[in-house]
Amino acid sequence: MTDASPECTTRQGAVRGRAEHGVAAFLGVPYAAAPFGPRRFAAPAPPEPWTGVRDATAYGPTAPKAPYAPPFDTLIPDTSMPGEDCLNLNIWTPEPGPGARLPVMVWLHGGAFSNGSANASGYRGHTFARDGVVLVGVNYRLGTDGFLHLPGAPDNRGLLDQIAALTWVRENIAAFGGDPDRVTVFGESAGGVAIGQLLAEPGARGLFRRAVLQSGACHHFIGPDTARRIGERMAERLGVPHTAEAFAAVPLPDLIDAQAMLRADFASRPDPAVWGDAALNGMAFEPVAPGLRLPGPDLGVDLLVGSNREENRLYMAPTGRFDTISEGRVRRQADAYGVDLPAYREIRPDATPGELLDGLITDWFWRVPAIRLAESVPGTHLYEFAWRSPQYDGALGACHALELPFVFDLPDDPDYAALTGEKAPHDLARTMHAAWVDFATTGDPGWPAYDPEKDRTTMVFDTTSHQEHDPRRAERELWEDVR
């Protein structure tokens, strides 16, 4: 790609991008109309067409949100840019223009449905484009605007945004060198959870051929009663009726402040009597669903799914809590999950309370849902990320979000320095990134599918990556009767 100002034509009009690392980047391209004014809290509407050539050389606005609380504001990629036209996406392509028919990957960022942005430095897609993939990063509504239950508005507006973005990709990506019949949607944390919901969503059917769910699968949602309870609590904090109309009249800074306070209140007191079934998930904002929806064998979508070996250490080591966890805290968590703690301790006889708590939460929240999804859909490929960060004297371990710089092959990006330290292994980044590219291209990431009737092959990504058969089998079996 040699053109310094590449141009492509969408259904809404022409866009001019920029050259970046030898590929073309088109940034801040709208896939839906601005969700403000009369469109506030509504389902996404098509973007307005334009005349002439629209500049797409700079990132667009991001969804309104409160910043991460310390210390996570320095650990997890995020960025905020003001403006109402926040339903936009970023595209990196090695061959702008129709005809190339390259595989497409659509990135859904994480952030507990309250934070995150496709504009973060660590999510730049030039490494995928370098390897023959058209990469699309999506900004979608978050927090109150995207996921709070509001009478008079559709639920799961952030998911509806993602469907609108995937629809835009289906209709327009050929103009950027992509193949609309070879779309892989991939996401981490809340992004992975969102994909778990999209797998069962009729409106998303046919919009993607493959999916990668990183540290997030199908069981993280809240029921309608809990959704109503959280919405009412937010309304009480704001002093307004619990309706979409009343919330739309609240000044945005006040809404963001109330959202941050609600999240802090939730984190300090995750009581099921107050927060319902959201208490176990630890998130105040989540998709609303009537129950667990595993897709089953007739899904028709290739899946790659997995988790990190010590996910919950992200929330323990940086806060100094890892070495102060009590036996009572571990017992309460095991009771909440309904898992046999003595049996779990027998599997890990030398574990400290902090290590036990990390194991329990990692299994329940991330690892077991990934396994159950792989069991539900034959042909799914399963992975586990096991490289341990040296940060926080090694206590950070193979924590949540640590796989991101390796998937994007950006181990030296400053967005990730606080997570990885100064010497993230480049060979691991090349290996993991190549597996994602191969999966998007062919459906085969390079190891056998997970077969619960045979050997349960799992790819373990580490300094020396390797296949294992049914890793940590005893723990997996302990969770079989826990739902």
Picking from 207, 6, 182, the residue whose alpha carbon sits closest to that of residue 102 is: 182
* Cα–Cα distance measured from residue 146 to residue 160, given in angstroms and rounded to the nearest whole number: 9
Contact indicator for 107, 118 with CB cutoff of 8 Å: yes
* Cα–Cα distance measured from residue 357 to residue 343, given in angstroms and rounded to the nearest whole number: 14
Four-residue CA torsion sign, 103, 443, 28, 417: negative
Q: Which residues contact 347 (CB under 8 A, 6 or more apart)?
A: 474, 475, 478
End-to-end CA distance of the chain: 51
Burial-class residue 328 by CB neighbours within 10 Å (0-12, 13-18, 19+): exposed
| Packed helices 353-362 and 327-337: angle between N→C axes, nearest 10 degrees | 20
Q: Which residues contact 36 (CB under 8 A, 6 or more apart)?
A: 84
CB atoms within 10 A of CB 9: 14
Contact indicator for 27, 56 with CB cutoff of 8 Å: yes
Instruction: Tell me which amino acid residue 181 is.
Output: D
**465 given a catalytic annotation:** no
Backbone angles phi and psi of 432, in degrees to 5: -70, -45
**311 given a catalytic annotation:** yes
Q: Dig out the tokens for 31 from the structure.
A: 């896939």
* Cα–Cα distance measured from residue 165 to residue 88, given in angstroms and rounded to the nearest whole number: 8
Instruction: Tell me which amino acid residue 313 is.
Output: R
Contact indicator for 431, 356 with CB cutoff of 8 Å: no
The catalytically annotated residue of 109, 117, 188, 189 is 189
Contact indicator for 255, 234 with CB cutoff of 8 Å: no
Which secondary-structure segment (H or E) carries 122?
A: none
Contact indicator for 114, 142 with CB cutoff of 8 Å: yes
6: DSSP letter: -
* Cα–Cα distance measured from residue 103 to residue 15, given in angstroms and rounded to the nearest whole number: 21
The catalytically annotated residue of 188, 311, 384, 403 is 311
**215 given a catalytic annotation:** no
Per DSSP, helices labelled H in 199-326 are: 224-238, 244-248, 252-268, 272-275, 278-281
Residues annotated as catalytic are 189, 311, 400
